[in-house]
Structure 1
Amino acid sequence: MRILELDGAWNVRDLGGLPTESGGRTREGLVWRGDALHRLSSKDRDLLFGELGIRLVIDLRTQEEQLIHPPVDIPGVQTVNFSILPEGKIGREPFPVAFPSDLARVYVKNLTEGTAAVARTFEAIADEVAAGAGALFHCAAGRDRTGITAAILLDAVDVDRREIAADYVASNHHLSQVSKRLAENPIYHNDTHTAEDVPPLQAAAIESFLELVDMELGGSVNFLQSAGVPVEAIRKFTADFVLPAG
């Protein structure tokens, strides 16, 4: 896992180099997760879309969020929008809570509301990886929506869940900067919570989330299949993205 130190985004990192249960390791430089990209510097853009070869950006935010902070527009880079949350929900419901078990339940609700978006994200990333190109998916803070999407993707290719949890809590690396970024946008505020209330992430939240996915949705692979991703596509992505043991 490689965390990038950028000028205009605080939560961008590589999902490569993570060990799987079978002894393999995810390939580096292909699948990236992050936070909103609207303030990237020219140096950031040169790194992400030049040196690192990212050719697809998947924006998981709502249209409402994008009106305030528009998606990136980079020549030669495709940007698509697969919103996980329903329009009009952000800022009108309590900000995700700090208790891991409760947050895990919020995540499952987000996942089921955004089933199509998560499935389309998986398929789009799989297509880019098959072509040897890089893909980056992001929401606003790169923590919650991006976190559950990353967890499903990594779990589907059998990444060790301890490593999934480690990736998840890596979003605490620049927590203060991410919180300030959220505070700039009024739609993340409501009557009882503000963006400044963003608590540190705890591994137990994503661990509990994956346990609930197992119990209620039959696991990550079954969730993706039920959402319309063919099992052969999941197997091919695993073969493309995971370097075998040895």
Structure 2
Amino acid sequence: MHTIDWLDLPNQVNARDVGGLPVAGGGRTRSGVLMRCETPDLLTPESVVRLHTAYGVRHVFDLRSHGEGLERAEWAGLTRHHLPLLGRRAGEAADAAAREVGDISAGQVDVADGEEGFDLGDVDVYGAGRLYLRMAERGRESFARALELLTDDDSGPTIVHCTAGKDRTGILVAMLLLLVDVDRDAIVADYSATQTNLVEMFRRIDELPRQPRLKPGAPASAALRDAAPQSMETFLDGLAERYGTAAEFFLKAGAQPVWIERWRERFLDA
């Protein structure tokens, strides 16, 4: 059984390296390549320094919407890339909308509208997985861009985050793991590791300004503040049914085949 490699970052409880995961046919993912965490609004100055000096992080992928979270400051030695998956409308209207809606954990209406008619107050753990697939499709351009950045000449150790570090972060990380054939059970287990400190994490996030908030009268179900294995399993099933493979999803999103080849070279231990 894989041991979760938690990062030692002051005031972060959901930060981890996704290296060491078993790959179909043998081998494991390489440590120090891809990491994940919750909102950097919780990071202390010491944490930012440790990201660069102790863990070698060079790039930060921010998947949050425009206007979500505190103002993004520059970090010495780190390049921050804003790759919003949702709420990408330009201008002040986007900022206002993002502050009102934000993460799926807070009831992301942006992905709930449409033909399926999701009721965010009554979404179960399987419905959360179906919402994940819609999120992936809505943010496909950012996913393709993330893969490009992970494999270009300036690539290096990268940490991915959104607000809770489980929904938007969870589906991007899961698909990057799928690209190198990580065992399905390991992908689900990595996603569900967020449950370990989930209550404490949300307590800290809810105390911060400019975080996603529910619109009045639109409560989200408990499933949207969970990281149940069934949610990730439903997402993986839906992805396979609609696209066949994660590679096909990325290619249809605009990724180049060579990016997938380079990602496998960089992320797999022989």
TM-score (norm 1): 0.89
Cα deviation for residue 46 of structure 1 reads 2.5
> Are the aligned partners of 1:57 and 1:78 in contact in 2 as well (CA < 8 Å)?
yes
Paired residue secondary structure (1:85):
coil
Report the equivalent of 1:228: 254
**Do residues 57 (structure 1) and 82 (structure 2) align?**
no
| Partner in structure 1 of residue 76 of structure 2 | 75
Distance 1:214 1:97 in 2: 25
Shift of the alpha carbon at 1:186?
Answer: 5.8
Q: Secondary structure at the match of 1:188?
A: coil
User: Partner residue of 1:104?
Assistant: 129
CA contact (8 A) 1:183 1:194 kept: no
Could you list the per-position Cα deviations for residues 95-125 of structure 1 after superposition, in whole angstroms to 9, with x for gaps in the alignment? 5865222111100110111000111112212
Contact 1:96 1:103 in 2 (8 A): no
What is the aligned partner in structure 1 of residue 116 from structure 2?
none
For residues 114-162 of structure 1, give each alpha carbon's deviation from its aligned partner in whole angstroms, at most 9, with x where no partner exists: 00011111221233xx667211110001010000011111011110010
Report if the CA contact (8 A) 1:37-1:72 is conserved: no
Q: How far apart, in 2, do the equivalents of 1:222 and 1:10 lie?
A: 33
Q: Deviations over 1:38-60 (max 9, x none)?
A: 23223312221112110101100
Q: Distance in 1 between matches of 2:211 and 2:262?
A: 42
**Partner of residue 38, structure 1:** 41
Contact 1:60–1:137 (8 Å) recurs in 2: yes
Letter in 2 for 1:8: N
Letter in 1 for 2:85: I
* Separation of aligned partners in 2, 1:146 and 1:40: 17
Please show how residues 1-246 of structure 1 align to structure 2 within 5 Å.
1-66=4-69, 69-86=70-87, 87=94, 88=97, 89-90=101-102, 93=109, 99-127=124-152, 133-184=156-207, 185=210, 187-190=212-215, 191-193=217-219, 199-244=225-270
Cα distance, 1:169–1:96 mapped onto 2, change above 3 Å: farther
What is the CA–CA distance in structure 1 between the aligned matches of 2:221 and 2:211, rounded to whole Å?
9
Other structure's SS at 1:64 match: coil
Q: 1:170 Cα deviation (Å)?
A: 0.6
Q: Deviations over 1:181-221 (max 9, x none)?
A: 34234632222326998533111111110111111123211
User: Is 2:121–2:219's contact at 8 Å kept on the other side of the alignment?
Assistant: no
**One-letter identity of the residue aligned with 1:82:** L
Cα gap change, 1:75/1:125 in structure 2, threshold over 3 Å: closer, same or farther?
same
SS at match of 2:60: strand
User: Kindly, what percent of the aligned residue pairs are identical?
Assistant: 29
| TM-score normalised over the length of structure 2 | 0.81
Residues 217-240 of structure 1: CA distance to partner in whole angstroms, max 9, x if unpaired? 232110001111111210121012
Q: Secondary structure in 1 aligned to 2:46?
A: helix
Q: Contact between 1:31 and 1:125, CA under 8 Å: does it hold in 2?
A: no
> What amino acid sits opposite 2:49 in the alignment?
D
Distance in 2 between residues matched to 1:107 and 1:119, nearest whole Å: 17
CA distance in structure 1 between the aligned counterparts of 2:200 and 2:74, rounded to whole angstroms: 23
Structure 2 vs 1, CA of residues 198 and 165 (structure 1 numbering), >3 Å: closer, same or farther?
A: same
Whole-Å separation in 2 of the counterparts to 1:172 and 1:218: 29
Distance 1:182 1:216, change over 3 A: same
Please list every run of 5 or more consecutive structure 2 residues that lacks an aligned counterpart in the other structure: 88-93, 110-118
